[in-house]
Amino acid sequence: MTPVPPGPRPEHLQADCANCFGLCCVALPFLASPEFAFAKDAGEPCPNLRPDFRCGIHAGLRERGFSGCSVYDCHGAGQKVSQVTFGGRDWRREPGTAERMFEVFPVMRQLHELLLFLTEAVTLPGTGPQRGELGRALDDVTRLTHGSPDELAAVDMRALRDRVNGLLLRTSETVRSRQPGPKKDHRGADLTGARLAGADLRGASLRGARLIAADLVGADLRSADLTGADLRDADLSGADLSGSLFLTRSQLDAAKGSPATRVPDGLGRPAHWR
């Protein structure tokens, strides 16, 4: 996994592979596909994982058929589980920790994703109606991330995600309402391969939209809500994503771009963009 460059995002929400026990390379399953050169089961160490918990082919993940690994971001969950939840005890030297550690890592990853979005939401201008509720939700999720392994395993993630996503949706609607003119609603839409070059998508809802291989060259996505949008192989060359809402580095890594593509401060520009 490629660590996200430092920026406005808090350090604890940025992956720190040097302080993680390679959890994404062990705990998570993947299927043989264009994103993964071979399949492995959850709890099975990837053959490319070295004894020091680093990836042996990290520099050539895309070329070796592991683009799925190159775009994965745990949002800091890996080092939290490794160094906080389990106090630096790794699953190789203490095999008895493995099963629980691998169980709580996906939970922590989801919690950190919620933290990422809530942290962004509380800084957005014009969120007065939701500001207090956002702060309380941020505190609640933060407390959950410091729970014991048993407490983390018991978190009702579906209920928590429903609560937080409802709040983030209302926040998005409040912020996007400040954008002049009509706003397109493509929430959950299948826009695979869509021709949207130069499209005015300011303030649009693209939450959960499938934009795989979509042509977004020169599109205006300022203030667009991109929560969970699938941007794999979407062409963002020359597009303006500055000020877009809830965009992650993983989404940018999965897309294509150019030097003229404008991205939100702190996300950085993927190395494979030309």
**Are residues 171 and 50 part of one domain?**
yes
pTM score: 0.91
**Are residues 209 and 123 part of one domain?**
no
Residue 263 sits at φ, ψ, to 5 deg, of -120, 160
**Are residues 187 and 137 part of one domain?**
no
Give the end of a domain, one of 143, 176, 209.
Answer: 176
pLDDT value of residue 7:
44
Residue 5 included in any domain: no
pLDDT value of residue 163:
97
Contact 144, 155 (CB under 8 A): yes
pLDDT value of residue 181:
87
**Are residues 169 and 262 part of one domain?**
no
**Are residues 83 and 133 part of one domain?**
yes
Strand-pair partners of 36: 33
**Are residues 18 and 116 part of one domain?**
yes
**Are residues 22 and 137 part of one domain?**
yes
In sequence order, the 6+-apart residues with CB closer than 8 A to the CB of 121 are 127, 130, 134, 167, 168, 171, 246
pLDDT value of residue 10:
84
Give the end of a domain, one of 154, 176, 198.
Answer: 176
Residue 3 included in any domain: no
Residue 4 included in any domain: no
Name the domain count of the chain: 2
**Are residues 28 and 154 part of one domain?**
yes
In sequence order, the 6+-apart residues with CB closer than 8 A to the CB of 162 are none
pLDDT value of residue 265:
85
Residue 83 included in any domain: yes
pLDDT value of residue 8:
56
Residue 139 included in any domain: yes
Closest CA to 79 of 143, 146, 20, 18: 20
Residue with tokens 């983030």: 168
DSSP of 203-271: T-B-TT-B-TT-B-TT-B-TT-B-TT-B-TT-B-TT-B-TT-BS--HHHHHHSB--TT-B--TTS---T
pLDDT in tens, 160-176: 999 999 999 999 999 99
167: left (phi over 0), alpha (psi -120 to 50) or beta: alpha
* Domain membership of residue 200 as a residue range: 182-274
**Are residues 35 and 164 part of one domain?**
yes
**Are residues 156 and 20 part of one domain?**
yes
DSSP 11: G
CATH number at residue 260: 2.160.20.80
**Are residues 155 and 23 part of one domain?**
yes
Residue 202 included in any domain: yes
Low-confidence ranges of the chain (pLDDT < 70): 1-8
**Are residues 84 and 100 part of one domain?**
yes
CA 136 to chain CA mean position, Å: 22
Give the end of a domain, one of 122, 151, 176.
Answer: 176
Residue 19 included in any domain: yes
